Amino acid sequence: MNLHPFDSRLDAALRNVNDSLTGFPTTTVSSARPGQVWRARWDDALALVFIDAILDGARNLVRVAPVSIGTDVADDTAVILPIESSPLSVAMSVWPDLVTDIAEIVLERWITGVETFASLAEVTAAANDGQLRRGLPVLNELSPRHQERLLLELAMEVLSLAADLPSGNGRLEAILAGVSTATVAGVLNVDSRVALQILRGLVFIDRQQAHLLANVVDRDPRELLDANPAAPDELLATMTALRRGAAIRALAAKQQVSESQAFSTALRGVFALAARKEGTTTDWVGRADSYFEVSLAS
């Protein structure tokens, strides 16, 4: 069940766009920019988000705030973007105080651009100056506005943790020294090849695997996560890029697993694929392209 389910409000808005605007692009936008509204999806979390800023760094982070179509569920911390603010021709509500950073890879679909405001600072300033209005105050916990905010808070928390890359200090091999391949394979339910790669520090373990292995070596799961191989910035950049989202979602559907599981598997696979190659320079983009091409082949 989605943490923030979409109903007929969004469907109607998108139909209105398709019917009224010739050539309106809904799937061809290839880069995220401030002032855009995207649908973000990861595992069971789903939300519309307004992009405030593109952040520097290898993890392809964007600063976003949640958005709802319409004004009915907007509380007094939300700012109403009027109908004329975007080609959707519907009002939208944005929550500047729920801003968070998410990886580009969770941006599933471009929805629209906000033509009059390119940042949350501009939106907030317009609200403070009286150019834009805010929603209504929450009077009790049964208020739909209160429930909407709780859903948005939860969705943003999940999205902020998506594509969490388990890069560490490289001590995993030493911590697991003495543990047999058969034990790792049995505990993690993986084949012996993957188990051996884990023992040799050639692949990452995720949170669930860290908890399972922690019982074997009597260590804190956080210590095992921190002991993962050190992920090069180039690997982080290619695996969290916007263009990887479609491949991760396709892989998750094919394997009938969550996006988190598919991402973790792909990350380990790309890292292990490069680890087997000799030389000091790695074409991480090429390795990732090869991995997804093979993994998604029928």
Q: Where are the domains of the chain?
A: 8-161, 172-296
Residue 4 has φ and ψ, to the nearest 5°, of: -135, 80
The answer to whether the Cα torsion of 99, 260, 266, 28 is positive or negative is: negative
**For the segment 84-96, what is each residue's pLDDT rounded down to a tens digit?**
998 888 899 999 9
Q: What is the pLDDT of residue 280?
A: 60
140 or 63, which is more confident? 63
Taking only the tens place, the pLDDT of each residue in 228-253 is 888 788 988 999 999 999 999 999 99
For the whole model, what pTM was predicted?
Answer: 0.78
Domain 8-161 has CATH 2.30.30.110: yes
- Please name the amino acid found at residue 236: L
| pLDDT over 90 at 119, yes or no | yes
| 247/262 Cα distance (integer angstroms) | 10
Least confident stretch, 157-166, 222-231, 255-264: 157-166
CA-to-CA dists, residue 192 to 131, 167, 265, angstroms:
63, 23, 15
Percent with pLDDT over 90 in the chain: 52
C-alpha dist (Å) from residue 18 to 26, 111, 112: 9, 11, 12
Mean pLDDT of the chain: 84
Higher pLDDT, 267 or 181: 181
pLDDT (tens digit per residue) in 137-167: 777 777 778 788 888 988 999 999 887 766 6
